[in-house]
Amino acid sequence: MNNPFVITGDIPEQYFCDRREESGKVIRTLSHGGNLCLISPRRMGKSKLVRHCYNKPEISSGHYTFYIDILHTSSLREFTYVFGLNVFETLHSQSRKMLMAFAQGLKSISARFGFDPVSGTPTFSLELGDISRPEFTLTEIFGCLEKADKPCVVTFDEFQQITRYPESNIEALLRAHIQHLSNVHFVFAGSERHLVSEMFFSSARPFYNSTSILELRPIATDEYIPFVCHWFQARQRSVSEEDARSIYRLFDGNTYYMQKTFHEAFANTPQGEACTLETLRATINDMLEEASDVYRQLLSRVPERQKELLYAISKDGKAQKIMSADFIRRHALASSSAVQSAARKLLDLDMLAVDDSTYFIPDTLLRMYLNRLRKPDQTFL
């Protein structure tokens, strides 16, 4: 029997929880020719929301849809490379006519196109090194989408990554393209708040005021708790509302960690039985255990001053005035300037986040892991 709490791959419609309003906004914006910036901490559900909207008839029936995750890219050349490959692959499955147009339009890398005489379709073998003039190739890719016989939707996921490219004019370059495209609409999804919000909210930056903004919040408890209880029940199992709520609170509504918890807990609850607090505790211990290799690696590269600050903030949960004498004394930290520079580094690494001058560790499981390092007998539920 399949597990209703899906944590990998596409989420079938019935197992996709809520996001009705958000989907509505995404679909409305795109189908009226606008662009959208989608922003939230990691694992709140941005990528799945985009996929979900792509599958809705309003989008799927009248658009070509492209989805490109650029987290692993580190230059404009690599950006162009993954974008080009993705457009080819997507068109390969969506439109033969467009595929031919694409093969003819990309003059700067025309040598990489071939023709498979058996299937009668173009082939494409592109290496990163083939792209010698990325700005050129990029113009050609956009040009091809602009001329498509249906409007195109392009999602660049983890878009904040472009701020790390060595080239200095990337934002202006992309913005200039986007401004001139009327047949291509964009979703820019980003996880690192300090980078994304500067890019889109600061009037000095090219992307300022160029998109609608959707900040993805946790799924509301009123939606999520009944969703959990419903699926346990539908599969002849049960979980109490109160316990489901404790999990929600524990992870601050982080979609992935809640889904992961219930996925495992569901798997460990035999048919006809109840998922108890004990089951949930054991599940969380397993999750901490499973993550510990990655977290230990991560922490092994964090210098001591930064780690002290991480411990301090994980202890407080939400920390205010971290440069104040009181905070420094309470947590035995070195000095306010040391805290300031440690905080800056941790923010850059995305291990720390700040919202309305309240600091917190955005990865809720890491927060718990740190708390357990400080106090090994700590229980969480």
Ligand X SMILES: Nc1ncnc2c1ncn2[C@@H]1O[C@H](COP(=O)(O)OP(=O)(O)O)[C@@H](O)[C@H]1O
Residue ranges in contact with Mg ion by CB under 5 A? 47
Report d(CA 350, CA 354) in Å as an integer. Answer: 10
Q: Closer to Mg ion at the Cβ: 67 or 311?
A: 67
- Kindly tell me which residue out of 45, 84, 122, 134 binds ligand X, with binding defined by CB under 6 A: 45
Out of 43, 177, 193, 367, point to the residue binding ligand X (CB under 6 A): 43
How many residues bind ligand X (CB under 6 A)? The answer is 18
Residue placing its CB nearer to ligand X in the complex, 46 or 177: 46
Site string (18-37) toward ligand X, x via CB under 6 A: -x------------------
The listed partner (Mg ion, ligand X, none) that binds 283, CB under 5 to 8 Å by sort, is none
Q: In the numeric block, which tokens belong to residue 312? A: 């301090």
Q: How far is the CB of 224 from ligand X (least distance, A)?
A: 9
Min dist. Cβ of residue 361 to ligand X (A)? 16
Q: CA dist 115 to 123, 145, 187, 299, Å?
A: 5, 21, 33, 50
Q: Which is nearer to ligand X, 141 or 214 (CB)?
A: 214
Determine the interface stretch with ligand X among 55-63, 254-262, 299-307, 367-375 (rule: CB under 6 A): 254-262
Q: Does 261 bind ligand X (CB under 6 A)?
A: no
Say whether residue 187 binds ligand X (CB under 6 A). no
Question: Three-class SS of residue 321?
Answer: coil
Tell me how many degrees the CA angle 200-21-33 measures, rounded to the nearest 5: 55
In whole angstroms, give the CA distance from residue 103 to residue 113: 7
End-to-end CA separation in angstroms for the chain: 29
Which helix (H) or strand (E) is 358 found in, with range? Answer: strand 358-360
Q: How far is the CB of 376 from Mg ion (least distance, A)?
A: 33
Say how far apart CA 287 and CA 187 lie, in whole Å.
32
Nearest distance from C-beta of residue 49 to Mg ion, angstroms: 9
Q: How far is the CB of 233 from ligand X (least distance, A)?
A: 17
Per-residue binding string, ligand X, 190-209, x by CB under 6 A, is -x------------------
CA gap 257, 250 in Å, rounded: 10
User: Which one of 29, 36, 37, 48 is in contact with ligand X (CB under 6 A)?
Assistant: 48
Residues in CB range of 240: below 8 A, 6 or more apart = 229, 274
Strand partners, 213: 37
d(CA 18, CA 156): 23
Q: Find which of ligand X, Mg ion, none residue 245 binds, CB within 5 to 8 Å per kind.
A: none
Q: Are strands 152-157 and 184-190 parallel, antiparallel or unpaired?
A: parallel
Q: Which residue has the tokens 């960690």?
A: 257
In whole angstroms, the minimum distance from the beta carbon of 48 to Mg ion comes to 8
Query: Which listed range, 4-12, 121-129, 202-210, 346-354, lies at the site for ligand X (CB under 6 A)?
Result: 4-12
For residue 259, the partner it binds in ligand X, Mg ion, none, with Cβ less than 5 to 8 A by kind, is ligand X
Choose the one of ligand X, Mg ion, none that binds residue 261, judging by a C-beta under 5 to 8 angstroms depending on kind.
none
The residue from 35, 259, 279, 364 that contacts ligand X (CB under 6 A) is 259
Q: What is the dihedral of CA 317, 323, 326, 327, to 10 degrees?
A: 30
Measured from the CB of residue 15, what is the shortest distance to Mg ion in angstroms? 18
User: What is the Cα–Cα distance from 37 to 204, expressed in whole angstroms?
Assistant: 17
Q: Where are the beta strands (DSSP E) in 41-167?
A: 64-69, 113-116, 121-124, 152-157
The answer to whether the beta carbons of residues 106 and 134 sit under 8 Å apart is no
Residue type, 111: A
Cα 262 off chain centre by: 21
With contacts defined by CB under 6 A, name the span among 9-17, 122-130, 175-183, 284-292 that binds ligand X: 9-17
Using CB under 6 A, which of 3, 47, 183, 336 touches ligand X? 47
85 contacts ligand X (rule: CB under 6 A): no
Provide the minimum distance between the beta carbon of 191 and Mg ion in the complex, in angstroms, as a whole number: 7
Compute CA distances 271 → 133, 146, 266, 276, 323, whole Å: 59, 53, 9, 13, 52
Q: Does 46 bind ligand X (CB under 6 A)?
A: yes
The residue ranges that bind ligand X (CB under 6 A) are 6-7, 11, 16-17, 19, 40, 42-48, 191, 255-256, 259
